[in-house]
Structure formats: structure tokens, C-alpha cells
């Protein structure tokens, strides 16, 4: 679709500085802009690009003052917050490009399944017994929904996602391609011959509203009861959430985080990439964990943690300065030992 600067300014409650009839039909980074594209500038580090950009329209903060001449073909839209307004446009652009309601064939939908209004169900999708889909749900090709799965309104399940039987997914959830929800928890017990016997995993996974789960992440079903992903949680790609974990509201984790069984993660926790959290621990609300940290003990009070095993990040930085000086310190110790031996030898000879 094509939009003019005047139309965009109206949507964003901004003002046009330039040609109100300038039109765009695509979005682009400011450094890669071309004729007919829309960009934005909010970070001063990228200001140099606005003087050479090929974009037709650029969203800027009202306070922006050009240091030199702008391209004659560039129209500015001035707003209170360029970053937030561009994000709003991205959301609008994404909604325009959503799939039209349809059920593509071939796909399998069990006769006992309940489908809400205006669904999109892609080709080769599988919808099992007693599945319940809310309104405006989008199920992309090759998705598998096991028996008794429940999906809330306006949820999007991208291609090749598998949601095992009995799992519950809330409204406005986004699950990206390749994610697996409800796979068996890693439960085994050795018998008298030290052979591992599988412990049946009979629980489920409950994902509440407004959650986003990245591509190829896995969330294991509970041994008994439920594994919980609470409201507003954001999970990046390639994360592993083990059985009976409870991730509380509005927590976010970056790629390759691993959380072991029965850990309880608080609200508004931020977890950096490649962090590992041991099982049966509690992480306090609003804790921040730096990437590649290892959490091996319960965190009772909010802190910023770093290292493996992790501790306060300021203490870690001071400790690391000492660690980096260890080669120098060891060299000095060897020199002192040599001097002491020489002094001892001289005293003995005297």
C-alpha cells in the first residue's frame, strides 16, 4: 500500500516539514533508504545518514535541527518520539500484511475441534481432537496442534510449530517457527541396574496472554501440574524451559537461555543470552542477569548478577580486574622468591 506524508503525519499526530504529497510504499533503515521508502531517526549516532539518505520521508523528533542541508527529495515528519512512532507504523504495516481468513487445503481438522471466527489455517496444518481455537487465530502451514489444545483470540502460530496435547495458549500470543510447546520434561530415574527408566510426564504447559516465543525454543510439559509462562513474557530464539518451571509476568530472556526443572523466575526479570539457571531455584523480581552467567543458588533480593557462579556485577568487575593482573602478580612472586633465596644464601655464607 502507498501512503503520503500527510496521511502518515495524521496517524502519528505529527507535522510535515516538506512535501505533504510525498509518498512511500516500503520501510527502510535510514542508511539504506531509496526513493519511495520511509525511515526514521532517533539515535544521534545515525544523524550523519539523514544528509545522504535516499528515503522519501523520514520521521524525526520535533527537536531535531539539521546541521547542514538535507536532500531536496526528503520530507520530514516531526513527532514527539520518533522511535515510538516508527514502532507504531511497523505494527500497522504488520497488521496490513496479515493473512486473510481462510482454511487452506490440504489440512486436517478433527470433527470435534472448535474454530472461532475468521481463522487462517495454512496448508498441511494438523488440528487434533477437541482443540479450541479463538477468534482471528492464525495457524501457519505444518503446525501441529495436539488433542485438547486451547488457543486464545488473535494468537499467531507460525510454520512448523508443534504444541503437544493438553497445552493452553492465551490471547495475542506469538509463537515463531520451529518452537515446541509441551514436549516431555527430562525425567529419568535409574533402576537397580543403573539403567535409566523414563518417568511419565503427564502435566501440560500454560502460556498466558501477550507472550512471544522465539524460533526453535522449547518449553517442556510438567511432570505433574503445569509449566507456566505468565502474562507478557518475552522469550528469544533457541531457549530451553524445562518441566515445572514458572516464569512470572513480563520477564524477558535472550537467546540460548536454559532454565532447569522447577525453577521459579520472578516478575520483570531480564536474563542475558546463554545464561544457565539451575533447577529448583527462585529468582527475585526485577533481577538482571548478564549474558553467559550461571545461576547456582536462589536469588532472594533483586540485583544485577554476572559470572559463573554469578554474583553482583560490580564485585565481579573488580574481581576480574584482579584476575587479569594474575600473570603480572605471579611474575612478581617468582621474582620475590628468587630474591629471597639469594638473600638467604648470602646470609648463610656470611
Cβ proximity of 292 and 274 under 8 Å: yes
Contacts of 119 (CB under 8 A, 6+ apart): 101, 103, 133, 136, 137, 138, 139
The CA–CA distances, whole Å, from 336 to 1, 322, 329, 341, 344 equal 76, 19, 10, 9, 12
Nearest to 226 by CA among 168, 170, 144, 152: 168
Q: Catalytic amino acids? A: 243
C-alpha grid cell for residue 183?
514436549
Contacts of 97 (CB under 8 A, 6+ apart): none
The rounded distance, in Å, linking the Cα atoms of 222 and 36 is 51
CA angle 56, 61, 65 (to 5 degrees): 85
Cβ proximity of 304 and 323 under 8 Å: no
Amino acid at each position: 500500500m502507498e501512503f503520503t506524508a500527510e496521511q502518515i503525519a495524521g496517524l502519528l499526530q505529527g507535522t510535515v516539514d516538506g512535501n505533504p504529497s510525498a509518498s512511500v510504499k516500503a520501510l527502510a533503515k535510514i542508511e539504506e533508504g531509496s526513493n519511495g521508502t520511509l525511515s526514521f531517526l532517533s539515535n544521534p549516532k545515525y544523524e550523519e545518514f539523514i544528509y545522504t539518505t535516499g528515503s522519501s520521508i523520514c520521521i524525526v523528533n520535533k527537536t531535531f535541527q539539521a546541521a547542514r542541508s538535507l536532500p531536496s527529495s526528503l520530507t520530514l515528519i516531526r513527532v514527539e518520539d520518533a522511535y515510538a512512532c516508527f514502532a507504531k507504523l511497523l505494527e500497522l504495516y504488520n497488521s496490513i500484511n496479515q493473512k486473510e481468513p481462510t482454511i487452506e487445503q490440504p489440512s486436517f481438522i478433527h470433527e470435534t475441534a472448535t474454530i472461532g471466527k475468521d481463522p487462517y489455517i495454512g496448508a498441511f496444518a494438523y488440528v487434533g481432537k477437541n482443540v479450541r481455537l479463538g477468534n482471528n487465530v492464525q495457524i501457519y502451514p505444518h503446525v501441529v496442534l495436539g488433542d485438547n489444545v486451547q488457543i486464545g483470540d488473535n494468537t499467531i502460530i507460525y510454520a512448523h510449530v508443534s504444541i503437544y496435547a493438553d497445552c493452553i495458549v492465551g490471547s495475542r500470543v506469538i509463537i515463531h517457527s520451529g518452537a515446541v510447546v509441551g514436549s516431555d520434561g527430562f525425567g529419568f530415574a535409574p533402576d537397580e541396574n543403573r539403567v535409566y527408566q523414563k518417568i511419565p510426564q503427564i502435566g501440560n504447559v500454560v502460556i498466558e496472554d501477550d507472550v512471544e516465543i522465539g524460533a526453535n525454543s522449547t518449553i517442556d510439559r510438567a511432570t505433574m501440574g503445569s509449566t507456566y509462562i505468565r502474562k507478557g513474557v518475552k522469550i528469544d530464539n533457541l531457549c530451553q524451559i524445562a518441566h515445572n518451571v514458572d516464569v512470572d509476568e513480563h520477564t524477558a530472556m535472550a537467546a540460548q537461555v536454559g532454565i532447569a526443572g522447577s525453577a521459579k523466575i520472578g516478575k520483570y526479570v531480564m536474563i542475558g543470552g546463554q545464561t544457565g539457571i539451575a533447577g529448583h531455584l527462585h529468582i527475585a523480581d526485577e533481577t538482571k542477569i548478564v549474558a553467559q552467567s550461571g545461576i547456582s543458588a536462589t536469588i532472594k533480593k533483586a540485583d544485577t548478577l554476572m559470572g559463573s557462579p554469578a554474583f553482583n556485577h560490580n564485585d565481579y568487575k573488580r574481581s576480574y580486574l584482579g584476575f587479569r593482573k594474575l600473570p603480572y602478580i605471579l611474575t612478581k612472586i617468582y621474582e620475590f622468591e628468587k630474591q629471597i633465596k639469594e638473600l638467604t644464601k648470602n646470609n648463610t655464607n656470611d
